[in-house]
Amino acid sequence: MLPPLDELRRLILTTVPAATVTIVENPGPAAQHSLLIGADHALAIARFLRDSSELRFDTCSNVTGIDWPEREVVDVTRTEVPNPAGGPPKVIETKAKRVVPGCLEVVYHLYSVARKHGPVILRLRTANRADQVTLPSLTPVWRACEFQEREVFDLYGVRFSGHPDLRRILMWDEFVGHPMRKDYVEPDDYEWEPTPHDEVLAKAQRHYPAPPQERLPDA
Amino acid sequence: MSDAPAPSPISDAERDELRRHGILLTSVQEIYNWGRSHSVWPLQFGLACCAIEMIAASMARFDLARFGSEVFRPSPRQADLLIVSGTVTKKMAPQVVRLWNQMPEPKYCIAMGACAISGGPFKQGYNVLKGIDRFIPVDVYIPGCPPRPEALLHGLMQLQEKIRGQAIAGPDAPPHLRDDVRGDCTVPAFGPHDLIPPKDPSLWHPPVIVRPD
Ligand code: SF4
């Protein structure tokens, strides 16, 4: 039986006491909560999850990436001020903006075929999206991660240390950039767009500037 | 190449009339094209979901063999027809052009499905070629996502019609019978963001669209 996530967290922390493990809640109806684990001890945690006789997560079914660009969040704090004229207290809202730094995230879905339970979802985050994008590869623990980590490297630009063969897998080797990043700009080869709309319309108009002609008077 | 053939001294109607009476009159061109059009061997080559329909078309239910095209060749050296059946990613495009260049003349190309024609549902993507006709001359376009096997059969019949109508000499002759036409296509190279060149300008340029906006 798969222990609940906070129990799993406790089990991990008893085995790898130095690790940081945070539960990331999923507020959606699926309520698939996940464990955010620190990169330093990710390999030790992975080995424990695979080898512990109670858990036996022998299968990594999916590895995927997420790009979190830098974003601004507005925190609203409500304070109640007693109304001097009596009656219900006034509520004053103070808004504070803060910038959440961007990062790249790698998500692993683990199942146990032997114990017939799962999934447990692990998340690893890089320090930023620019130069500190190295995460430990979990391929030494689960061979199934090899191709999918290559895919995350190719499309998101996460560098996996300890990966046996970290090359691009979907794009060609000469390709520059990581197309699944939110700020990727794709090549402008929209020469022919019969029915363009939105962004593609703007591109099509760049290729076909409206002819300098007067519009026909409406009949 | 030899000069253009002299115009046929009898009309098609007269020839059909003679055939009804059991007299077979033909020309080298007609019998050559008749033979060619009924033994079009496709390259055994599929790219995406459309290939499944191509496979279905070659199986017993739709029976491509009725048209002489059941012999899917596993080598481009033995194939007459390249059916581009599916999404051509930019990573795959040079290989597709190479296969085309390896096929001996006379050869034909069918662009099967929305992807091969224009990029289809993936047209706005960064990694899909927006139509194989940017690099290869296409003879027949079959729209659909995917086209039904019947549509592929219809496309093949259109191709047979095209083959039967080709002259074997003169200015209308197909490329392989002329010296003034380049035989192979440009194989694009991989660039930092796109193929280089992104299209073969001698084969494809965007149709002129005049926008009222
Ligand atoms: S046209 Fe449709 S069915 Fe054919 S390869 Fe493209 S997506 Fe698949």
Q: What's the pLDDT band for A189 if we cut at 50, 70, 90?
A: confident
The torsion angles phi and psi of B175, rounded to 5 degrees, stand at -55, -35
Q: Which residue of B has its CA nearest to A169?
A: B91
Specify the ligand 1 atom closest to the Cα of B85. 5
Cβ-defined contact of B193 to A189 (cutoff 8 Å)? no
> What's the confidence (pLDDT) of residue A218?
59
> What's the confidence (pLDDT) of residue B37?
92
Give A215 or A97, the one with higher predicted confidence: A97
List residues bridging with A78 in a β-sheet.
A93
> What's the confidence (pLDDT) of residue B7?
58
> What's the confidence (pLDDT) of residue A45?
94
> What's the confidence (pLDDT) of residue B5?
54
Give A46 or B183, the one with higher predicted confidence: A46
- Between positions 120 and 179 of B, the ones with CB within 8 A of A are 124-127, 130
Task: Check pLDDT > 60 for residue A213.
Answer: no
Give B9 or A136, the one with higher predicted confidence: A136
> What's the confidence (pLDDT) of residue B8?
61
Q: Is A81 helix (H, G, I), strand (E, B) or coil?
A: strand
- Of A6, A12, A84, nearest to A51 by C-alpha is A12
Task: Check pLDDT > 80 for residue A209.
Answer: no
Q: Which residues of B touch A171 (CB under 8 A)?
A: 91, 127
A199 residue type, one letter = E
**Could you report the predicted ipTM of this complex, rounded to two decimals?**
0.76
> What's the confidence (pLDDT) of residue B14?
86
Q: What is the mean pLDDT of chain A?
A: 88
- Of A3, A5, A1, nearest to A121 by C-alpha is A5
% of chain A with per-residue pLDDT over 70: 95
How far, in Å, CA of B177 to CA of B105, rounded? Answer: 9
- pLDDT tens digits, A78-115: 888 888 877 788 888 888 899 989 999 999 999 999 99
pLDDT (average), residues A124-135:
91
> What's the confidence (pLDDT) of residue B2?
45
Q: pTM for the complete prediction?
A: 0.82
How far, in Å, CA of B94 to CA of B105, rounded? Answer: 19
- Of A64, A105, A184, A129, nearest to B192 by C-alpha is A184
> Rounded to a whole number, what is the distance in Å from the CA of A94 to chain B's nearest CA?
43
Give B151 or A197, the one with higher predicted confidence: B151
Task: Check pLDDT > 50 for residue A169.
Answer: yes
Q: What's the pLDDT band for A56 if we cut at 50, 70, 90?
A: very high
> What's the confidence (pLDDT) of residue A205?
78
Low-confidence ranges of chain B (pLDDT < 70): 1-9, 182, 209-213
> What's the confidence (pLDDT) of residue B179?
75
Task: List helix spans (H) across chain B.
Answer: 12-20, 28-37, 49-58, 93-102, 113-118, 149-164
Q: How many Å lie between the centroid of ligand 1 and the Cα of residue B47? A: 9
Q: Are A89 and A167 in contact (CB under 8 A)?
A: no
> What's the confidence (pLDDT) of residue A121?
94
